[in-house]
Amino acid sequence: MILNNEEINLLFESELQNSLGQYGFEVNKGRIQRMTEAGLEAIYYDSVESIIDAKARLQYSACKRIDKVETVWQEFYTKVYTVGVSFDKQKIPTLAFNAARIKDYEYGISKRNWFQYIDRYIVDANEKGVLELSKQFVDIFKKYILPTFNLYNSESNLDRYINAKPETYWEVIHLTTGKGLLFKKIIASKMNKNPLYDQICEFVLNFIKERNDYQSQEDKEKHLLVLSEIMNC
């Protein structure tokens, strides 16, 4: 029997809650989340949609916020990026990714197209299909999403990985929105008293100076000004 959207989502959410509740996650209306010592971890999927072909579709994004880092960054965000009226600086994520980015991203080959990796699932819009979808999602959650959440579990671990080398950037950009990563390298390394802090600052400064995809010279100057303010805050 073909299920309607409400039936699909009720079944999907029930199955996820049964499987993910043991890890402290709550499932409710398109959001799977838990609060940790570092900050909020969440997976957003809106809803599982069945349109006209009796197929159920799922697409999602996993996000993690490391509060200590973002509390600093959020005060500078609007100096660099234009935001809408509904913008909430307290919801800026540190990580934003999906399993496809982790599985398929190849540094040096696809680094410029990291944002194009979408993790999408399509199954029959019946009970069997939704149960299979739930199983698939729980499997990729355990294999890719949860380990990434657990790996980046503090500002010190964030620094450890995004500053593995002073020039680390494209190696980890696929785990983020791409916005603010350069500045977060500085913030995290300063918090963690990284011995390579000066080299990290030098890399970020040169990266901004040499980058040629800013919308204008004024835009580049805004980035340089914010960099200076973060280094001196």
Specify the pLDDT at position 93: 96
The pLDDT value given to residue 46: 76
The count of residues in the chain is 233
Across 47-51, 86-90, 129-133, 193-197, least confident range: 47-51
Q: Residues 110-126: what's their mean pLDDT?
A: 82
Instruction: Name the more confident of 115 and 56.
Output: 56
**What average pLDDT score do residues 10-25 get?**
96
- Whether 47 has a pLDDT exceeding 80, the answer reads no
Amino acid at 231: M
Retrieve residue 156's tokens: 């010190």
State how far the alpha carbon of 135 is from the alpha carbons of 12, 44, 123, in Å: 10, 17, 12
pLDDT digits (tens, 9 = 90+) for 150-183: 999 999 999 999 999 999 999 999 999 989 999 9
Residue 40: predicted pLDDT: 97
Higher-pLDDT residue of 41 and 5 is: 41
Question: What is the pLDDT averaged over residues 38-51?
Answer: 86
Within 10 Å of residue 132's Cβ, how many Cβ atoms?
15
Residue type, 90: Q
Map residue 122 onto helix, strand or coil: strand
pLDDT band at 82 (very low <50, low <70, confident <90, very high): confident
For position 111, what pLDDT does the model report?
Answer: 60
Q: How far is CA 47 from the centre of its chain?
A: 19
Question: Would you place residue 186 in the very low, low, confident or very high pLDDT band (cuts 50, 70, 90)?
Answer: very high
Whether 58 shows a pLDDT value over 70: the answer reads: yes
More confident call, 8 vs 86 = 8
Alpha-carbon span 48 to 151, nearest angstrom: 28
pLDDT digits (tens, 9 = 90+) for 97-113: 999 999 888 776 556 67
Between these two residues, 190 and 178, which has the higher pLDDT value? Answer: 190
Residue 108 confidence (pLDDT): 65
The pLDDT assigned to 51 comes to 63
Residues 6+ apart with CB under 8 A from 197: 189, 190
Interval 28-40 mean pLDDT: 95
Candidates 87, 93, 97; CA nearest to 62 is 97
Predicted pLDDT at 196: 98
Residue 106: per-residue pLDDT? 78
